[in-house]
Structure formats: structure tokens, C-alpha cells
Structure 1
Amino acid sequence: MLSRRFAEYCVVGWDNLARTLLLYHANLVSSPEFYFQTVACNSREFRNATVNSDLHFIRWDTPPKQHPLYLGPKDYRRMVLSSAAFARKFRDADLVLDRIDREILKRRPPPRDDNDDHDDHAASASAARHGGQFFSYGGWCSEGVVGLCSNPWEPSRKGAIKPGAGSRRLRVMLNKMLSGRNFRKQQCR
């Protein structure tokens, strides 16, 4: 995650590093995947405030090629156990995306077309035809502002975000990464 101060540095670039690297990265394949890390690790101000993790579950060939492997149903267990907040790369309408929606995000099924076969693959295909958009409940809190925080445990707040097993796994992973014992080992080198 980028801090506001770092984002401002990338836009305003008071020492011209961010702008110079932007010109260089404009000629690279997959430059958005490397730009911010390169700026942070080469900036005196930000290099000691980084953790070498993008919180993604990614599966690569051995040896790694330019693009990661596609994730599928057989990768689901390893994705969940990794505690990563994000994962990539998926094929459009893959069945594992439906499972993530159903079991992790607790999303309602997408609308079905009359000509669907009413199986999981059809639901996934239907979601793809509908732009992949179906409603997922949520809730937000504004710390310190009375009345702007929905209490997810209040019975009348049906659908508000409730911390689940995934959030607990993510908290453990972040605490481990940011612990004094591990933090310095994971910084820019």
C-alpha cells in the first residue's frame, strides 16, 4: 500500500527521481508492476519504510517466465493458506473465482441467463456476460467520528463487513512481516 506522502512524492517528485524513473519505465514491459517499488527502493526518504511484499499469491514457472501461471481450482487451498490479500493471474470466468466469491467474499450468485445450464461454469459465464458485477455487501467505519461507523455485530446491520478467518490470517501475516525481527530483513537491498 502506498502512503499519501509517497504518492505525492511520485507525482511532485521533489528530487526528480520519480519523474526520471517514470520515463525509463515507460519503455519496459509490465512497468506498472515495478515502478513504485523501484522509486521506493531508490529514494533515501522511503527505502527504509518499505516491506518486500506485494501481498499477492502468484504461481510462477520454474524458472520464472515473463508472466505468471494462471490460477485455478487446484490452487484454492494454497491461496487461502498463503494469507495473501490478493492473487493473480486468473482466466476469465474461471470456476475458482466463483469459489472465492462464494466462500471468501460471501457474495450472492450472479444473475442467470435463461439459456444457462444452471451449473457453476454457467454461473461464472453468466457473471462474465454481465460484466462480472454482482452485489457484495460491505460497511465502512470512520475512526473518531460519531455516527459514521456501522457496527457489524449489531443485528440490524445485516451485510456489514464482519472480520472472518481471512482477516485473521492477514493480520497474522502483517504482524509477522512488520515485527522487529523480520522487518529489516524484508526491506530494499
Structure 2
Amino acid sequence: MAGKLWSFSREGNNGVRRLLAASIFFFLSVFLFLSLLPSLKFLASLSLSAGASVIRSSSSPLPSGFPVPSLAYLISGTDGDEERLIRLLFAVYHPRNVYLLHLDLAAPEEQRRALADSVRAVRVFRSARNVHVMGKADFADPRGSSALSAVLHGAAVLLRLGVSWDWFVNLDASEYPLMTQDDILHIFSFLPRDLNFVRHSGHIGWRESRRLKPIIVDPGLYHSSKRDVMYATQKRELPNAYRLFSGSGSVILSRRFLDYCILGIENLPRTLLMYYANIPSSHSNYFQTLLCNSAKFSGSVVNSDLRYTSQNWSMGVLTVADIGELTQSGAAFAGRFEMNSPALDWIDRKLLNRQQGEILSGGWCLGKVTEGSCSVWGSPEVLNPGRGAQRLENLVVDHLSDDSFLSNQCK
């Protein structure tokens, strides 16, 4: 197929202009003089005020210089999550992406072998060769530091597996997408590849006494069987060599930043890793602190993980009653859901247009996806975004606007 094809709308290029405006705000806020910002606000108001929809229905190429990105997914679960991982994989699949599935050591070896067999049985996965299962698993206790170790391990493997992906996305088995991959890839096509989507805050509050001063030991780092995290009786003072930030363990990180974390010659990533080795739930603090204390990357942080989480802390899970709010949020993903929740069935039918037990289709498949096979393959660079792209566009533009981007960054 000659050239690259993308999906575009008959209704004009306003959605593109909005994303370009937001991207321009990002670059200029970081790299240009602050004296230019008043004029940019005026340009933004013009670019964002037109009213056409971002929804694309016909096939036309994007403007040159905006290639379709690739995402590297680390999808993690524990004992009993084999079926959940497969369902989540089917719901976020796209041939341009690369996927690594990790069942932690709490799951018996039989489940990992069954997971690998399930992946091998899908013809689309065999054809694209972009789905992998972690053979040597890790413990990943979210109460300790082994969860952070498992995420860094998965990121290192993905760096070796894929040479061209742009963003790293970690998903838990209890999370689920709220839009298609065509929607997400379409919007991310217009974004600077250095952006890092990480929910974070420097206002520690109650976390100081519960999450940052306690000293813990995670046996998952040195035992071959699952054991509870141990707490020391002593507590330590907060550091003054760097400022601590907290947030969520769910992140969308640029490849450049992960290269810095794992392969960079600066010692800050390793220094912070040693510090967080004995802190509770370090996976929800490490990337936030590293990004905001790095002169190279502090200007690339967007204060959002593009997830919708339950607002009902007593329940902690999302149900059909939350459908309205999570859809209107514009988030790309949501969690936590219970296994086989009716809410997931609703999302499959109404938001993803995905048949039960089938892989998520898209512009890459010209025919039908049935029994794990595409009847007529197209190009993975052809996207057919829907209404989810419009919702995500609105959310991303809000976060990258001049008033929101800098005022919520590493504060």
C-alpha cells in the first residue's frame, strides 16, 4: 500500500488545530521566552473557538510530520487474573503497539503457561508478533517496593522488544479502556513525544506520616514465596536533597524518560530508587519524584494519568452506576472493575463496539475480526477514530492549555 493513510473528517480540520494549539503551548511554555505567552493566549482562543468535531470517518492522510505513534503496554495481574489479562489485551489491541503480559509470582507457573498458550492460539497475535508473556515473573506487592521493581523490569524488557514505540502504558488487570486504540493513537499523533502523563502532587499531607516516613521491608525482593510486608518501629526524616512527590501508580511515560530511568548516565534515578526501596507503595511516588526533580524532564509532566478512578472510596470499584461519569470524563482508561463486571460488558458494546471474546477491531482490519483472525488485513497506520477521540481531545487540550499546564506542573 503506497504511502501512509489516516482517517479524517469531512467536517474540517478544527480538531487537528485544537491539538496542534495545545502542543504548541507545551513546546513554547518550555522552550521559548515567557514574553511570548500573552500573544499565544490570543492565538489559542482563536484556535480553540471553532466548533467542528474531531470525529474522523473518511480515510485521508494526516498533515505530514504527524506519524501514527506506537504504545508499549505492560499489562499486569496476579493469581487468578489469567482470563482478565486476555480480555484486557483483546480490548486494547492494535498491531502498531507492543504488549508484555506479566502474571506475578503469586500466580502458579501453570497459569503463566496457560496465558502463553492463550496468546499463541490467536492468529492475529502470531501474525503481528507483538504480544509477549513474561516468562521469569516477579513479585509485585503494591504495599511495598516490589511493585515498582516489576514495573521497571517490564519497561526494560519492552525497551529491548520494541525499537520504535513512543509511550509506555502500564495497566492493571482491574483496569479497562474507555475508547478504542484508534481513538487514542489518533489523538497521540498530534502530541509531542516527550510528554509524560503522571498524576502527581507535592502537597504530601497525610502521606508524610503514612507513606513517606515509615520504613518497610518487602520480602518480595528477596524471598521466593509470598510474604507480608514488614514495618520497622522507627521512622525517618524527609530528605532535603530533593522534593518528594506522590500520586498514582498508573502512568503514561515517554520512551525518552524511560531510557533515562534505566539507561541514563545521571545517578538521580538510581539514588531515588535506593531511597524508595524501603517506602510503602513506592510505585505511586517514584516516577513523580524523579520527573519533578529532573531538570531534563520536569517541563514535560502533564498532571493527569488519563484514568478515571472510583470516587466511592468505601466501595473502591466501578459499577454500571458509574458509566455516565466515567464516559463524560474523557479518560482513556478506568479502574478498578470487578472481574466480569456488567460495566465491562456495557463498555464493550457501547464504547468499543467489541464483540464478546473477540479482538478489538479498527482501521487495520478491512474485513471482520472473528475467532482471533482478521479476514482482510489493511495497514496498521490507517485509523478510524470515533467519539472517544473527541472526548480524549477535550481532556488533553484542557490539560495542555496555558492556564492548566504550567499551574499544575510539579506543584
User: What amino acid sits opposite 1:72 in the alignment?
Assistant: T
Structure 1 position 50, deviation (Å): 0.6
Query: Alignment partner for residue 100 of structure 1, among 315, 339, 347?
Result: 347
**Cα displacement string for residues 136-163 of structure 1 (whole angstroms, at most 9, x for unaligned residues):** 11345xxxxxx95654xxxxxxxxx521
- What is the match of residue 359 of structure 2? 135
Separation of aligned partners in 1, 2:265 and 2:300: 18
Separation of aligned partners in 1, 2:395 and 2:276: 31
- What is the match of residue 7 of structure 1? 258
| Kept in 1: contact 2:363–2:379 (CA 8 A) | no
Figure out how many residues of one structure are paired with residues of the other and give that number. 147
- What is the match of residue 356 of structure 2? 109
**Cα displacement string for residues 70-120 of structure 1 (whole angstroms, at most 9, x for unaligned residues):** 01110111000000111111111111011111111111123xxxxxxxxxx
Structure 1 position 61, deviation (Å): 4.8
* CA RMSD across the alignment: 2.3
Flag the 1:150–1:8 CA change in 2: closer, same or farther, 3 A.
Answer: closer
- What is the match of residue 59 of structure 1? 310
Say yes or no: does 1:187 pair with 2:409: yes
Separation of aligned partners in 2, 1:2 and 1:149: 22
| Kept in 2: contact 1:70–1:89 (CA 8 A) | yes
| Kept in 2: contact 1:13–1:19 (CA 8 A) | no
Following superposition of structure 1 onto structure 2, how do residues 20-59 of structure 1 map, counting pairs within 5 Å? Answer: 20-59=271-310
1:83 is paired with a residue whose SS is coil
- What is the match of residue 127 of structure 1? none
User: What amino acid sits opposite 1:53 in the alignment?
Assistant: S
Q: Identical aligned pairs, as a percentage?
A: 41
Separation of aligned partners in 1, 2:381 and 2:266: 42
Separation of aligned partners in 2, 1:148 and 1:109: 24
1:185 is paired with a residue whose SS is coil
Separation of aligned partners in 2, 1:24 and 1:73: 41
- What is the match of residue 128 of structure 1? none
- What is the match of residue 338 of structure 2? 91
Flag the 1:13–1:150 CA change in 2: closer, same or farther, 3 A.
Answer: closer
1:87 is paired with a residue whose SS is strand
Flag the 1:184–1:138 CA change in 2: closer, same or farther, 3 A.
Answer: same
Separation of aligned partners in 1, 2:388 and 2:380: 22
Query: Alignment partner for residue 178 of structure 1, among 392, 395, 400?
Result: 400
Say yes or no: does 1:73 pair with 2:320: yes
Runs of 4+ in 1 over 6 A off after TM superposition: none
Separation of aligned partners in 2, 1:135 and 1:49: 33
User: What amino acid sits opposite 1:46 in the alignment?
Assistant: F
TM-score (normalised: structure 2): 0.33
| Kept in 1: contact 2:318–2:337 (CA 8 A) | yes
Structure 1, unaligned runs of 5 or more: 111-133, 141-146, 152-160
Flag the 1:61–1:135 CA change in 2: closer, same or farther, 3 A.
Answer: closer
Structure 1 position 16, deviation (Å): 1.1
Structure 1 position 30, deviation (Å): 3.3
TM-score (normalised: structure 1): 0.69
Q: Which has the higher contact order (CA 8 A, sep 6+)?
A: 2
The answer to which structure has the higher strand fraction is 2
Structure 1 position 35, deviation (Å): 2.2
2:253 is paired with a residue whose SS is coil
